[in-house]
Structure 1
Amino acid sequence: MSKKRVLVVGGTGYLGQHLLKRLSEIQSTNPHDVSFTYHSNPPPQPLLKAIPQALAFHVDLRTGHGFDAISQAFGQPHVVVNCAALSVPRTCEMDPTAAMSINMPSALVKWLSSFTENNTLLIHLSTDQVYEGVKSFYKEDDETVPVNVYGRSKVEGEQFISANCSNFAILRSSIIFGPQTVSPVPKSLPIQWMDSVLSKGDKMEFFHDEFRCPVYVKDVVTVILTLTDKWISEGKQMQVLLNIGGPDRVSRAQMAEAVAHIRGYNNSLITPVSASTVDRGVKSPADISMDISKLIQTLGISPIPFGDGVRLTLAAEAGS
């Protein structure tokens, strides 16, 4: 039986690198042919070294330029995982056109529909920012009322996929945290940043009234690989929408307190402030905590508690 082909779109980003590394680690027991796309920078050497068997393709998601090269050199993928996004809310606010053109994957979907057999599973990463943020523990069937351009572009992406794909899984992810990637990503990682600030003994302000369900990166990877294996083994078309968050509803101040507790820092360094006191140049939803019971029922996956994820993250950083 030929190996199944998996394409990771946005493979040089945070989630993309963690997913590629895991795909590489399971090659001996669960082999796949793997490829990934990158856009702004060539794939860094440490990443290429960690995943020697993967093919890299330069692709522009806005124009679709580069997809033809994948068709020729790699063929039609059995599974495409779309991790690519313009995900900094402030950046999206400043350039709504770019946000819409990247976060609504029309070129990717068009490319997939060009294959005669329409049997690729598209796993698409969306966001908790599709919710309005006026209550706790949103369910998948709650109305999407995003308060910023990032959330709106992600809702449009979801709607586009639902209307144009017959085989998809949309994952609404919360803040993804965990160890640094093989090739460090330029963006600041939440737990590492909190640790570095508190380790200096400086007082720092953290929002106490914005709530999220941060999810450990390896749990997100497990969800993606479980969906991949399900499609490859069963071959049953799926049209699934899942909230992907951790089990804990926490504020930024509570996140910092967890880091302080594990590291033994003084809690007095953490100054809780209201999110309304800071102008971030973009409206931010107050409470987009998510109910993840559908994820647990559908895939049998229970993401680890926030404190456990923080411990694993800090232990990985200490050992790296």
Structure 2
Amino acid sequence: MSNKKKLLIIGGTGYLGQHLLQSISESDKSFDFNLSMAFTYHSSPPSHLLLQSVPQAIHFQVDLQTGQGFDSISRTFGQPDVVVNCAALSIPRVCETDPTVAMSVNVPSSLVKWLSSFTTSDTLLIHLSTDQVYEGTKSFYKEDDETLPVNVYGKSKVAAEEYIIANWSNFAILRSSIIFGPQTISPVSKSLPVQWMDNVLAKGQETEFFHDEFRCPVYVKDVVNIIQISSNRWISDGKKMRLLLNVGGPDRLSRVQMAEVVARVRGYDTSLIKPVSASSIDRGVKSPADISMDISKLIQTLDFTPTSFHDGVKLTINNLT
């Protein structure tokens, strides 16, 4: 193991975590170096299906609120070269009902303190943030725009970014938009956007979609590639990063426009899509209207070409059939 680089995924049983594990396991060319891999889970142990698909990965139970479980990683796996923090309490309505828990989970203080326990501070911390750090009053936010989140979830993610920037010297913070793509090896329970739209439109019933909330949905395998590119860069040149990037797709879309793409790809009747205002539905939490993001820094910094929403939907749908 000492001759290999070590990658640790925090929240490896979640949607992005599983896609990252799967991608690394399926391709020897994901990284430019030999790799030892580990991942964490919190409450539910990884399924047999997931463990079968990533037999080379070690798994650990970790509680991000207390830090319990990190000592076991130190003893068994050692200091990772790269940590990808995918873990979060990410349902805005849930965060709104329990702000204390949202802050204690989403601000990775126990993770950073654990990394600080090693003799060197060389680990690259790749942290998943969100587009909900922005207020939502304009289009195409840039990374240096002011963060004025309108809900607890966004506030907890801003606090996380500030904590990492103040307490760790080698990081890439990725402000992700809605992540979409194929289901995971071990299916996650949360609703996936394209699959949900496909399911309701397939029933042939008129369905309401918001016409006045805008996002830049990002294909899950693009996020995986961005993580791999960042990791390769750190391992190959050894220069510490202080990187903050908007990670969205190339298209600014409302839910109506997203549903129309799904309908066209599938051949459904687009008249089933009924536009409604987001203000007409009480979701128990305030939601920003337009948090579309300018991703030019991402494209330039990582020499990255994002997948269009249309192409990502086609790839997702092909995975269903």
Report TM bin, short chain.
over 0.9
Which of 58, 68, 71 is equivalent to 1:65?
A: 68
Could you tell me which residue of structure 1 aligns to residue 137 of structure 2?
134
Distance 2:189 2:174 in 1: 24
Aligned residue pair count = 318
CA distance in 2, matches of 1:146, 1:29: 35
- Structure 1: which amino acid aligns with 2:160? G
Say whether the 8 Å CA contact 2:133–2:149 is kept in structure 1: yes
Q: Distance in 2 between matches of 1:187 and 1:60?
A: 21
Question: 2:78: which partner in 1?
Answer: 75
Does the CA contact (< 8 Å) of 1:23 and 1:32 recur in 2?
no
Cα distance between partner residues in 2 of 1:161 and 1:24:
29
> Residues 148-163 of structure 1 correspond to what in structure 2 (within 5 A)?
148-163=151-166
Structure 2 gap ranges (5+): none
The one of 146, 150, 154 aligned to 2:149 = 146
Residues 129-155 of structure 1, C-alpha deviations (whole Å, 9 max, x = no match): 000000000000000000000000000
Structure 2 Cα separation of the partners of residues 36 and 233 of structure 1: 23
Which of 223, 241, 249 does residue 238 from structure 1 map onto? 241
1:25 deviates by 1.7
Q: Return the offset for 1:27.
A: 3.5
Equivalent residue letter for 1:9: I
Shift of 1:29: 7.3
State the partner residue of 1:122.
Answer: 125
Q: Which residue of 2 aligns with 1:51?
A: 54
CA contact (8 A) 2:169 2:240 kept: yes
Query: What is the alpha-carbon distance in structure 1 between the residues aligned to residue 201 and residue 23 of structure 2?
Result: 31
Q: CA deviation at 1:2?
A: 1.1
Aligned mates of 2:27, 2:85 — CA distance in 1: 20
Structure 1 match to 2:251: 248
Q: Residue 102 of structure 2 corresponds to which residue in structure 1?
A: 99
Distance 2:83 2:174 in 1: 13
1:118, 1:276 → 2: CA distance? 46
Match of 2:211 among 195, 208, 212: 208
**Cα RMSD between the aligned structures?**
0.9
The answer to whether the 8 A contact 1:36-1:57 is kept is yes
Give per-residue Cα distances to partners, 1:96-144, cap 9 Å, x unaligned. Answer: 0110001100000000000001100000000000000000000000000
Counterpart for residue 273 of structure 1: 276
List per-residue Cα deviations over 1:282-320 (Å, max 9, x = no partner): 0000000000000000000121111000000000111xx
Q: Which amino acid aligns with 1:247?
A: P
Closer/same/farther in 2, CA of residues 29 and 169 from structure 1, 3 Å limit: closer
**SS of corresponding position for 2:110:** helix
Residue 2 in structure 1 maps to residue 31 in structure 2: no
Moved >6 Å (runs of 4+): none
Partner AA of 2:153 in structure 1: Y
Which amino acid is 2:107 matched to?
M
User: Per-residue displacement from partner, 1:37-94 (whole Å, max 9, x unpaired)?
Assistant: 0001000111100000000000000000000000000000000000000000000000
When normalised by structure 2's length, the TM-score is: 0.98
Provide the rounded CA distance (Å) in 1 between the counterparts of 2:305 and 2:139. 19
Q: Distance in 1 between matches of 2:287 and 2:249?
A: 20
Q: Match of 1:56, SS?
A: strand
Moved more, 250-259 or 29-38: 29-38
Aligned to 1:164: 167
**Contact 2:24/2:30, CA 8 A, preserved across alignment:** no
In structure 2, what is the Cα distance between the partners aligned to 1:23 and 1:71?
22
Corresponding letter in the other structure for 1:46: L
Alpha-carbon distance in 1 for matches of 2:213, 2:152: 18
Deviation string 1:208-256 (CA, Å, 9 cap, x unpaired) is: 0000000000000000000000001110000000000000000001000
Moved more, 23-32 or 116-125: 23-32
Q: TM-score, with normalisation over the residues of structure 1? A: 0.98
Matched to 1:237, the amino acid is K
Counterpart for residue 184 of structure 2: 181
The correspondence for 2:222, drawn from 214, 219, 222, is 219
**Is the contact made by 2:30 and 2:228 (CA closer than 8 Å) also made in structure 1?**
no
Residues 1:29 and 1:8: Cα distance change in structure 2 (over 3 Å): closer
Measure, in 2, the Cα distance between the counterparts of 1:61 and 1:137. Answer: 32
Task: State the match for 1:85 in structure 2.
Answer: 88
Look up the equivalent residue of 1:203 and give its one-letter code.
E
Any stretches of 5+ residues in structure 1 without a counterpart? none
SS in 1 for 2:164: helix
Find the aligned partners of 1:107 and 1:276 in 2 and give their Cα distance. 38
User: Higher mean Cα deviation, 201-210 or 1-10?
Assistant: 1-10
